[in-house]
Structure 1
Amino acid sequence: MAEVVRARVDAWCWAVRLFPTRSAAGAACRAGHVRVNGERAKPATVVVPGDEVHVRGGERERIVIVERLVVKRVGAAVAVACYLDRSPVPPPKEHVAVVAQRDRGAGRPTKRDRRLIERLRGH
């Protein structure tokens, strides 16, 4: 009888480098940022080849299809072979909002500065 290989979703996401740490992967699962086949996934949810995993975090959403199961962290080249990436293309840099930065040591914004910042943000 052939043994069916299974992996926890938090361990698999960490092993294929979707998260920097296993605890971050587990926390994302508990917060509802990971879905397996459209259902919210707890950290112990089992994934098998063919499952679709949605990971929402950082600046974009990742949609991957499980190709191969791994439970130990692998190198980047091997990790890419473990899933099929169906993620939407990230927006170009021109469309990303620019974050205002103040000079170091400039202190807190004045009332006038704050009003200008709010006007830029559309408040």
Structure 2
Amino acid sequence: MRLDKYLWCIRYYKTRSIATEACKKGHIRVNGETAKPSKEVFPQDEIQIKKDQITYRIQVNDLPESRVGAKLVSLYCTDHTPQEAFEQAKQQQQAQEYYRQKGEGRPTKKDRRELDEFLINN
């Protein structure tokens, strides 16, 4: 099965074209190598997906015939993403929300420097 189709079938991407675009941008790796959308995926392959500042690590268990329901995704892949990745993303989001309220517009250069300094120190 094609990589882009597999990622769409197991609901990591909403559409197949978004999955294809992620592959073309180099956000998807199969067994440690950057993969094209047409790369064939087989059971026991390990896929790394960079999405929303989190690097997901999944292992292919089986190949679905078509897009599966959310409850059935665990039959076709196993998620090995470390919990620290989710905690770090949550912490970054909280820091951003604390610093700037939603709707305040684009940060100035001074705001950006202060935000970078805050994130580095935490």
TM-score range, shorter chain: 0.7 to 0.9
* Residue of structure 1 aligned with 2:60, choices 53, 57, 66: 66
TM-score scaled by length of structure 1? 0.77
User: Which residue does 2:35 correspond to in 1?
Assistant: 41
Q: Report the alpha carbon displacement of residue 116 of structure 1 after superposing the two structures with TM.
A: 6.7
Tell me the residue number matched to 1:95. Answer: 91
Tell me which residue corresponds to 2:46: 52
2:74 pairs with one of 67, 71, 80: 80
Quick check: which has more Rg, 1 or 2?
1
The answer on whether the counterparts of 1:12 and 1:71 sit within 8 Å (CA) in structure 2 is: no
Q: Per the alignment, do residues 98 and 69 of structure 1 end up closer, same or farther by CA in structure 2, a change over 3 Å counting?
A: same
Query: Please, what is the CA RMSD of the aligned residues?
Result: 2.7
**Distance in 2 separating the partners of 1:34 and 1:115:** 32
Q: Which protein has the bigger helix share?
A: 2
> Helix, strand or coil: the match of 2:7?
helix
- Structure 1 residues 65, 119: closer, same or farther in 2, change over 3 A? closer
Give the percent of matched residue pairs that are identical in Structure 1 and Structure 2.
32
Distance in 2 (alpha carbons) for counterparts of 1:84 and 1:102: 35
Cα drift, residue 79 of structure 1: 1.2
- CA separation in 2, counterparts of 1:87 and 1:33? 15
User: CA offset at residue 78 of structure 1?
Assistant: 0.8
**Unpaired segments ≥5 residues, structure 1:** 1-6
For the structure 1 residues 11 and 118, does the alpha-carbon distance in structure 2 shift closer, same or farther, using more than 3 Å as the test? closer
Q: Output the TM-score relative to the length of structure 2.
A: 0.77
